[in-house]
A and B are shown apart, each in its own frame.
Chain A
Amino acid sequence: MNAPVLPAPVTPSLAGGFAHPAHDAARAFRAAMQALARPGRIQQITGAMPPAPLSVAAGTLALVLMDQTTPVWLAPSHDSAALRAWLTFHTAAPFTTAEAAHFVIGSWEALTPVSRFATGTPDYPDRAATLIVEMPTLAASGTRLTGPGIQDSARLSLPENAAFQANHALYPLGFDTFLTAGDQIAGLPRSTRLEDI
């Protein structure tokens, strides 16, 4: 991507929040909900303009879901002072370890091994992490998906299959995943079964 040359804003790390917080968050949530409810269906999600390397989709999702009650972990690919400042200003989410995080953000390589993330408890399977995996691109091709939210089957370009298959094997425990690229988002809940092509 070519970054356009712009004059430096006064507070570069703090710009890029929602212009109309309630409406932007509502629309973005609907996109995220449809993404997770319909695995393999790629949705558009916009509203936030986070600092690089965070995508518009991941930044928007962060503003929709994160606050002071949701500890977050930034994988090395995304752990920059600028991004920390931006997330702190816009969400107030505290930073924590990979194991304790409610939300984790990073490239697939930087998030691996994903088996360290919270998968909930038998009594409270909802107490599981949500992964926001930044991808170069998203496409409705590749791994075959079946399960809730999918009529017959769907396909989604995933960074790998084995880790998600292992996560699905924990069902009803397991983490849930959003994949983001640019202003696009796709969901992969723990309930989705993956088949190699």
Chain B
Amino acid sequence: MTTASMPVEAESYNFAYLDEQTKRMLRRAILKALAVPGYQVPFASREMPMPYGWGTGGVQVSAACLVPEDRLKVIDQGADDTTNAVSIRKFFQRTAGVAVTEATTEASLIQTRHRIPETPLTEDQILVYQVPIPEPLRFLEPRETETRRMHALEEYGLMHVKLYEDIARHGEITNSYAWPVMAHDRYVMTPSPIPKFDNPKLSDSPAVQLFGAGREARIHALPPYTKVVSLDFEDHPFVASKADHECEICGSRESYLDEVITDDQGGRMFVCSDTDFCGSRSAALETERS
């Protein structure tokens, strides 16, 4: 709308793919989400040049946040080299001209599906989560008007009962994902399908954490240094569990492990899910030895 005769405008107008009006709408939603940690702000989700399930919510949030000076990292279940991660990284390289990296320590904005990096985040970083189902109460109540009312009234008793029943029936499920949390002592929110192991990293993070759900068109957020508590029970306290092994590549006993099949004879091994963490650790060990 301003100075339309300037030649630079044509190039930069659709910076990060989305038009300015759409980014304004997303940016307003992000600010309200940060003002009320854990509350899901509705937004008008746009068609993106990728199917739902490929992180269209995260992509829209990233598009609204990116600046030309950013260095972007994209991970899918901890790995930088999956089809999904590679295509999102290329998308923003092309549409926003941003630099990219696989190193957590070098990234200023990290878009993630299903993991929080092992390397602690800093105040100079933004973590954007791809969220398939933003409503933690949806499994109890399919009606949006009802779940909104439950959040408004802090009516979380039924949810606690259901979670308790699940634990009592199935025991502690070590590989459970999207374990609900309480944000800033007020809203129950989903951390997206990260493993329970990652839940403690949500709390008191120095980084800004933003959550985007494309199909359901919701954004929620955690400002830095926000108290986030995983839901649990006196007789079933929350445990940030992981496989009781060490990584067979880098030897880490602290990082979250994936069990991978190594051959068609049923051979298996445990390796870090965070490929950058594992690679950096292996390289450091290599240097020590030589």
Which residues from A are CB-within-8-Å of B208? 33-34, 37
A26 and B65 alpha carbons, distance in the complex (Å): 7
What mask results when residues 64 to 82 of chain B are scored 1 for a CB within 8 Å of chain A, else 0?
1111100000000000000
**What is the size, in residues, of chain A's interface with B at 8 Å between Cβ atoms?**
45
Output the residue of A20, A27, A66, A130 with the most chain B CB within 10 A. A20
Residue in B9, B14, B67 whose beta carbon sits within 8 Å of that of A27 in the complex: B67
Interface of A is mostly: loop
Are A37's CB and B148's CB within 8 A? no
Residue ID in chain B nearest A27 by CB atoms: B67
B19-58: which have CB < 8 Å to A?
A: 20-21, 23-25, 27-37, 39, 41-42
Residue of A nearest to B19 (CB): A22
Contact A172 B36 (CB under 8 A): yes
User: Within the assembled complex, what's the spacing in Å between the Cα atoms of A159 and B224?
Assistant: 25
Stretch at the interface among A1-9, A50-58, A120-128, A133-141: A120-128
A37, B24: Cβ atoms closer than 8 Å = no
- How far, in whole Å, are A92 and B24 apart by their CA atoms in the complex? 13
Question: Which residues of chain A are within 8 angstroms of B32 by Cβ–Cβ distance?
Answer: 125-126, 128, 176
In the bound complex, CA of A151 to CA of B1 (Å)? 40
- Chain B interface residue count: which class? 35 or more
- Decide yes or no: A122 and B152 within 8 Å by CB, A27-B67, A37-B223 being known contacts: yes
Alpha-carbon gap, A130 to B20, bound state (A)? 20
Residues of the B chain whose Cβ atoms lie less than 8 Å from the Cβ of A176? 31-32, 35
Question: Does A36 have its Cβ within 8 Å of any Cβ on chain B?
Answer: yes
* Shortest Cβ distance from residue B182 to the other chain A in the assembled complex, whole angstroms: 13
Interface residues of A in 106-164 (CB under 8 A from B): 122-126, 128, 130, 147-151
Closest residue of chain A to B38 (Cβ to Cβ) is A172
| Beta-carbon contact of A36 and B224 below 8 Å | no
Q: Choose from A19, A25, A147, A172 the contact partner of B39 (Cβ within 8 Å).
A: A172
B156 at the interface (CB under 8 A from A): no
Which of A1-56 touch B at CB < 8 Å? 17-23, 25-27, 29-30, 32-34, 36-38
Q: Does B281 contact A (CB under 8 A)?
A: no
Q: Is B83 at the interface (CB under 8 A from chain A)?
A: no
User: Which residues of B are in contact with A by a Cβ distance under 8 Å?
Assistant: 1-3, 6, 8-9, 12-16, 20-21, 23-25, 27-37, 39, 41-42, 64-68, 145, 148-149, 152-153, 184, 186-187, 204, 206, 208, 222-227
23 A–B pairs (Cβ distance < 8 Å), ordered by A = A17-B3, A20-B12, A21-B1, A21-B13, A22-B12, A25-B23, A32-B27, A32-B31, A33-B65, A33-B208, A92-B1, A123-B149, A123-B152, A124-B148, A126-B32, A126-B36, A148-B222, A151-B204, A151-B206, A176-B31, A176-B32, A191-B37, A191-B184
List the interface of chain A (C-beta within 8 A of B).
17-23, 25-27, 29-30, 32-34, 36-38, 64-67, 69-70, 89-90, 92, 122-126, 128, 130, 147-151, 171-172, 176, 189-191
